[in-house]
Amino acid sequence: EDTQPRLDIIKMAIAAQDFEQIAREAHQIKGASANMGITTMHLAAENLEQLARNQERRGTNQFILELEDFVKRIQEFLVISH
């Protein structure tokens, strides 16, 4: 539920090149997705966190898009399930 706001924070942090913030938010997403057993989302967040820790901006957009896609699919599933 709080993943989309975290992704929005990450996007702003990418624009500001605030790698510490990117890593923090990606770490939170990584933990939440691991707790839910969403392995592919966990891996995307882990890769994004690692890029941020290495202060690499290249490739971050790919992982943001992957994470947003996962969030969208989860939201669609929840709507269908209710």
CA distance 47 to 37: 17
CA distance 29 to 13: 15
Overall pTM surpassing 0.75 (yes/no): yes
CA distance 35 to 31: 6
CA distance 58 to 81: 37
Tell me the fold of 3-81: Four Helix Bundle (Hemerythrin (Met), subunit A) (1.20.120)
Q: Residue 16 above 90 pLDDT?
A: yes
CA distance 11 to 32: 19
Residue pLDDT, tens place only, 32-69: 999 999 999 999 999 999 999 999 999 999 999 999 99
